[in-house]
Structure 1
């Protein structure tokens, strides 16, 4: 299988308080809580992968911060980035990911310390009698740099071939299978509190490769080697999940280690259609349900935030649409299915089969909603949450219809504090971008049944005043809080 080296595009480095409301793509009937909230309520985490380049895309990072509570760096902690030449270290890219995570109350899975791929040529060129010292120095230096800041490390990544034999690489050639125990012991010595994992793909079901991992973990445990968990990467093809995933998780946890789904995606042969998207939704729900059913499965992480930053199209020709969010970071049926599996209410992942929603978020006053307000007043409640940093902020606003009649088309009016200027928004059109602003529904969230809610939001620049608007009116009616 081609590996996770291509994460594309993405995100804004927005420091600040944790976004606690539903994800920025919330809409009528959509989840009332984020994946992170629902997962935490079940005692697990729900994470994602980010690269440094993702941190310049505000849509991506706003969604990531709202939805996920764990971050795995896509490439920034791998050997070719952190020690490109012998003894010369570069932790800047990894530090940027850690800073983003800290700013949004997210934990970090370190990925990874020892891997045959993305390995600088200088390591492979070392004489065999120097490889162990280089490996130990690399692990010690990197783990020490991040000591106390990371939840876990993928200490050794992808050690096995498909038949269960160990890969032939610089480490096995120099040290045999003993390099794995040595790597774990070295990482533990550098940070005794970090959880230490072995991570691999195609070990999700019971097969020769997972049998080899099982035997290795059993042997390491019997030797007293520090190992806390096994990562199931879970790069699936739509409709092809192994039926033994739950049983396989259970046999590993019976050894006294945790398991985690570390790099989940579920690729679809393009173009996607309603049937393949529905199957993908079932696949996602099955993965989450398996984790929830196994005591010792600690969490699930998707590899990437949405289809727009997924590695799949660049690695598997003709495949894509592999995540819960489409090219515009709108929810797909897999999102709703995941929410439901986590015990939440859902019903908004309805983007088209091509991956493009029927309407994109916009701040342009020329964007027209699919329906006009009915003209009647509305009984409503509004809650909002602000995430502010140096000169910017994001605000998520949840509108609830508290009346007894449906609202068909709405306009929410509020006044921004002086100095706040909307730069982009989601799930509504915003005009003007400062002063008294009118947010108008878009195509998918114009109808609010009695008791229904929708979440909209925007990013804004500010000059120091980061307060929320003091009042909101919906179709002319003042909303309570």
Structure 2
């Protein structure tokens, strides 16, 4: 796969997250005991790994996106906010504000940050390409020193060098190579290390996931650098895949870099499909995600995997590859896809379906009439044997709701498989959805939304009545 880096960056910068009722932290349901009840980051941390995501542009101001990011991921990569055209738009004039915003978000949610990136042939301000060759080294070193020093102690790892190779394994003839030859690579790493000795320093590239001419050239470069004492700490495999095309040699490739004493991270994972996405392609995507996670788990020096974007609404793919997309674990409405479940399972979450025998007691008490303290709206999106349902509770009363419990009855044959923004039990029949830690308070006039995925046997109708904390709600 050939990736147009500039197009990717521009598409990511322009993307704004769709405002939708979204999946925040997947909550517990009785029919899916592990994967739905435990966030990805918790599962990954239990394995000694991280699971990361990318934020850029307006994504950081969208509460649906940031809640999902903070609930499921424990590493953040700024998509554009630390690149040269943002951080040093004119010689010696620095702008760290956009990057600081993402770092502050990450710190407030106990997430680490991957710095991306310091030296790249793309997204360079015009003045850099106009610098006389005998001044390029000084300009590069000053830029690296200023940026790394600014974020010293706040960045877990830096993509110091980004995408330095052509597909045949030759080095790109960019402003840095043309001025300094291949020596610019080691110089950049050494300069970054001097500014922050604690950060892990990476070379990051695409199409190096398997063993090929490009990854062979990077392997030789890494060997040479380490022999010279260059403080190279890791190799970043971007992981921009086409569905069904994860290289079979990926694990062996990761292992050979790890054997050099380097960390090997998957830094920008997505897996694009032809649109509209078929159920078959989404299942293959789920297999691909699981393969990547399992490869990382099999390599001690793989610290983790980061997805590029939070959901499909954030992805750079449709803007760069017309007719393709659906490349992440969450759809355009931030609902989990099969790739989410396969990722959770690979990380140790359980998707074992449990059967519970229940006894139903019938009473002759009639349901209370709806009153004016709550209104519930819901929408169902069904396909084949599955559906998603989004439910919104509006507090129409005069006082706040502090802790909510919404009871309703699913249509016959519907069984919940995953849920978000609520803990729902049991998985079928008469169920109760309860708030989770972050959404229990609903002020007068305010609302709260949650949703779930379910299997069905033909009846996809929505519930007809809802009771909030014992009071029947109007439906709208």
Cα drift, residue 295 of structure 1: 1.4
1:410 aligns with 2:431: yes
Deviations 1:98-151 (A, max 9, x none): 011011110000000000000111000110001100000000000000000010
Cα drift, residue 333 of structure 1: 0.6
1:325 aligns with 2:330: yes
For 1:121, the equivalent position in structure 2 comes to 126
* Aligned partner (choices 85, 91, 99) of residue 94 of structure 1: 99
Cα drift, residue 475 of structure 1: 10
**Superposed CA RMSD:** 3.2
Cα distance in 2 between the residues matched to 1:137 and 1:353: 56
For 1:2, the equivalent position in structure 2 comes to 4
Deviations 1:379-398 (A, max 9, x none): xxxxxxxxxxxxxxxx9543
For 1:141, the equivalent position in structure 2 comes to 146
For 1:60, the equivalent position in structure 2 comes to 65
Deviations 1:183-208 (A, max 9, x none): 00000000000110000000000000
For 1:254, the equivalent position in structure 2 comes to 259
Q: Is the 8 A contact 1:238 1:268 kept in 2?
A: yes
1:153 aligns with 2:155: no
TM-score normalised per structure 1: 0.77
Cα distance in 2 between the residues matched to 1:320 and 1:444: 24
For 1:206, the equivalent position in structure 2 comes to 211
Cα drift, residue 444 of structure 1: 3.2
Cα distance in 2 between the residues matched to 1:163 and 1:119: 24
Cα drift, residue 407 of structure 1: 4.8
For 1:303, the equivalent position in structure 2 comes to 308
* Aligned partner (choices 440, 444, 449) of residue 454 of structure 2: 444
* Aligned partner (choices 398, 401, 405) of residue 423 of structure 2: 398
Larger CA deviation: 286-295 vs 29-38: 29-38
Cα distance in 2 between the residues matched to 1:84 and 1:361: 46
**Structure 2: gaps (5+ residues):** 354-379, 397-406, 412-419, 458-467
* Aligned partner (choices 201, 225, 234) of residue 196 of structure 1: 201
CA 1:197–1:306 in 2, change beyond 3 Å: closer, same or farther?
same
CA 1:408–1:115 in 2, change beyond 3 Å: closer, same or farther?
same
For 2:89, the equivalent position in structure 1 comes to 84
CA 1:213–1:275 in 2, change beyond 3 Å: closer, same or farther?
same
Question: How many pairs are equivalent?
Answer: 401
Q: Is the 8 A contact 2:408 2:431 kept in 1?
A: yes
Cα distance in 2 between the residues matched to 1:308 and 1:22: 15
Deviations 1:244-296 (A, max 9, x none): 00000000001110100000000001111011111101000000000101111
1:373 aligns with 2:409: yes
**Structure 1: gaps (5+ residues):** 13-20, 376-394, 428-441, 448-471, 477-481
* Aligned partner (choices 233, 237, 251) of residue 232 of structure 1: 237
**Higher-Rg member (1/2):** 2
Deviations 1:410-450 (A, max 9, x none): 345789668576444222xxxxxxxxxxxxxx673999xxx
Cα distance in 2 between the residues matched to 1:321 and 1:250: 30
* Aligned partner (choices 101, 109, 127) of residue 104 of structure 1: 109
CA 1:151–1:351 in 2, change beyond 3 Å: closer, same or farther?
farther
TM-score normalised per structure 2: 0.78
For 1:171, the equivalent position in structure 2 comes to 176
Larger CA deviation: 215-224 vs 337-346: 337-346
Cα distance in 2 between the residues matched to 1:116 and 1:347: 48
For 1:359, the equivalent position in structure 2 comes to 389
CA 1:271–1:167 in 2, change beyond 3 Å: closer, same or farther?
same
CA 1:26–1:425 in 2, change beyond 3 Å: closer, same or farther?
farther
For 2:401, the equivalent position in structure 1 comes to none
